[in-house]
Structure 1
Amino acid sequence: MLAMHGSKEKMMTSYQTIIQNHQPLAPARYTAKRIIKNDAEALQIATELSQSFKEKSIQRDAERVLPFDEIEAFSQSGLWAITVPKRYGGAEVSSLTLAKIIALFSGVDGSIGQIPQNHFYALEVLRNTGTEQQKQRLYQEVLSGLRLGNALAEFKPKNASLKQTQIKAIETGYVINGEKFYCTGSLFAHRIPTLVIDEEGREYLAFVRSDSEGLSLIDNWTGFGQRVTGSGGVKFTQVFVAAEDVIPFDSAFQHPTLVGPFAQLMHAAIEVGIARAAFEEALKRVHAARPWIDSNVDAAAQDPLTIYEIGRVAADVHASEALLKHAALTIDEVRLNTNVETIAKASIAVAKIRAHSTETALKASSKLIELAGSRGSQSVDGLDRFWRNARVHTLHDAARWKYYFIGNYVLNDIFPPRRGTL
C-alpha cells in the first residue's frame, strides 16, 4: 500500500484517492496544456516554471512533502515531451537544451530535477529499440501528457547487474513478478517502464500501467538527500502487460547506441544544477556573513581566504558547466554518425563531466555551509539540502570508475563498456 507524506490538500486532485489493499494509485487523466515546438520555447518555459518552484523547496525537503502539484505543473507545461522526435510531433530539443533544463530545475530542487530523468531515459530506449508502431503510440501518449517513472534497480541480487524480476509469456500477453527499488518518479507516473528478464535471459523494458492489478507502489525511500524524488519500491505480483507495451532492452547496449551516454548526461546535469545553485547561494551568504576575527577586514567578502575559496568554487562550477556543454554537443554530433568509435567518444565525454560534476557539486555545497559560518547551520535556512542532495545523487555512480575508463581510453585506446551506468 502506498503511504503518502504531506497534506492531501497539497496533492493534485487526481491523486487524492488512495486504493487500499496494496493496490496502486490510479493514474491521473493526462491532457497536456501545450506541445512545445522548439528549444527556445522549452528554455523559456523551464526558466519561468523552475523559479516558481523555489518558494516551498525548503519546506518540501524538511517535511518530505512529495511534489505532486509541482510535477503536474511540470508535465502540463509540455516539458516532459521535449525529446519526442520531430517526425512524431515533438520538439526533439538538443541534448544541450535538455541538460540546461534539468540543471535549472535541479538548482531549485534537486529532487524535482531528478524525477523526469528516467522518463527521458525510457523514451531514448524506445527511440532505439521500439517498433514503429510502438513509437507512434507511446510518443503520442507522452505528447498528451503521459509521465513515465521507472522500475529498473533491484537491491536483493549480490551484483547490481543481476536482475530477478521475471516476465513470462501467456496467451494474451505477459505477466511480471518481482520487486524493484530506487524507482524514482514512479509515485507520479502513469506508466512505469520496468526492466525484466525472460526465461532465456533476455532483458526487456515493459511499459506497465501504474493502475495495473497486482502492482504495488511502496513509498519507502528514506535517503537523507533527494528526499522527495518518490524513489520507493515497486512490487509486481502477476502483473499483466500487453505485448505491444514491451520493447527490447539489452540490445540497446549490445549495439552502439547513445542510451548510456544520454542517461549519464542527465545525471551530470542534475549535479551541475545543484553546484551552480549552491555557489550562487554562497555568494549571498558571504555578503551577509561576519568576517573572521583574524582577517582584520570589515566584511566577510573582503576576507582574503574567503575570496580564495570562492574563486576555487567559481572555477570548478564554470569548468563543470563547460564539460556538460561539451558532452551534450558531442552526443548530438554522434547521433548523426553512430558507430563503435563515436559512441566511445561520447561515452568518454560524458564520463569526464560525471566525474567532475560529482566533485564540484560536493565541493560547492560544502563550501556554502563553511563560508556562511555558524549561521549557515540553522535548519530554517535549509542550506544543508544542497550537500545532502549532491551526496545522495553522486552515489548513483562511482566517480573513481569514470576516471579509470577515461584513463584507459586516452592511455591504452580501450573503449569503455556500453551500459546505462557510464
Structure 2
Amino acid sequence: MTIISGQPAAGSGITSGAVASGEVGLAWLAGAARDRADAGLHRDPHVRRVGVDAINLGSNDYLGLSTHPDVIAGAQAAAAQWGGGSTASRLVVGTTQAHVDLENELADFLGFPAALAFSSGYLANVGAVTALAGRGAGSRASGPNDSGDLIVSDTGSHASLIDGCRLSRARVVVVDRGDHEAVRAALADRTEERALVVTDSVYSIDGEPAPVADLYAAARAHGAVLLVDEAHAVGVRGPGGRGLVAEQGLSGAPDLVVTTVLSKSFGAQGGVVLGPEALRSHLIDCARPFIFDTGLNPAAVGAARAALQILRADPALPDRLRDNARHLARACGVDEPAAAVISIIVGDPQRAVEAAAACRDRGVLVGCFRPPSVPPGTSRLRITVRADLDAATLDHVAEVVDAALREVGAR
C-alpha cells in the first residue's frame, strides 16, 4: 500500500467512532446540507430558459457581446470549421490555427509579447501560479513540504488565485487587500530566492481597483514577479478597454504577468496568460492545467476573436459601460463604482437571497453573493452593468432593486 500523506489506520480496517455513529461513506452529507441551509448558505443554480424575458444584470457580460450577431456568427463559423470540441490536449492535437491566431491577436491588443489560452480563466490562474512558484516551477526544496518559493497574496484575490497558491505548496503570506506596504514587508523579510505577488486588478466582488502600480513597484524593488488578474478590467478600464495594467502604463513591463478571461467582456469562454515568450514556453512545459486539459473549444475561440474585433472597432464601448454603471449607481442611491460592479450590502445571507429572488420575480436578474464568496455579515446583491443598456432600462432596474430591498426589510 502506498501512503500519499498521513498514516494508515491501525489494524485491518476503520473501526473508530465514525463507524459506530454511522458517519461513514457519504452519510455525513445530509447533516452538512442542513447546516448550510440553517446558515442561509444553500445554493440552487438559477436556470435560464428560452423565451423567458428578464433583464440580466447578474452576468459578467460587461459589453453585452455574448449575444451580438457577429460573436454568434464567429462561434458558428469556428465550430463548422473545427468541430464542436478541440478533441484533445493542446499538446496533442487540441491546438488549431484559430487558437494561435487568438493568442497573437490578444497579445497585440493588450501590449504583451505572447499569450497562451486555457479552457477557463480559473485554470489559467491555477496554471500560471503553480508554474511560477512551488514544486511545479522546479524550485529547490529545502524540506519535504518547503518549495523554496514565496507567494504574497491579498485578501481580495479571486478563488482561482487562492487555489493556485494552495496547490503550489509554496510558502504563502496573505496581506490585507491592496496593502502594498505589507507586500514590501513580506518580500523584504523572505528567505526564499524567488517570490511571486498575486492580485486582482479590479476586485471581483465590488469592482474596486487595486493599487497595481504600487504593487508592481514593491515587487520590482525586491526581485519578485507580479501576477495581475485582469478578468474584471479588460473591456472595462484602460485605453480602449485594455485594462488597468495598460491604464497604469505597465503593458509588457518586465517581471509582470497578466491573466484575463474570455468569458466576461468578450462574451465567450476561456482564460489567457500574457507575458514574455519565455513565460509562454514555460507554461506549455510546466502548467498542468494546460498540459492535461482538453483545449479551449473552437466555438469559444471564434466568439472571442469576433468580440475582440468589435472592441477594436468601437473603443468607446468601455466608456459607455462605465457611464451606465455611474447612472445606475446614482439611481440606486449608492456610491459611483470605479468599474462596472455595483455592490449593495444586505448583511444577512438569507435576506440577500430573498432580495435577489424578489428582483427575479420582477424580471431583473442580479447576483447574490454570500460566504464564502464574501466575509460573514457582508452578504450582498452584486449588480453587473452592461454597455448595451439604455437609460430607461437602468432606471427601471433601480426601481426594481429598491422595491426588492424594501420588501425584505433591507432598506
If the length of structure 1 is used for normalisation, what is the TM-score? 0.24
Between structures 1 and 2, the one with greater strand share: 2
Computing the radius of gyration from Cα coordinates, the structure with the larger value is 2
Between structures 1 and 2, the one with greater helix share: 1
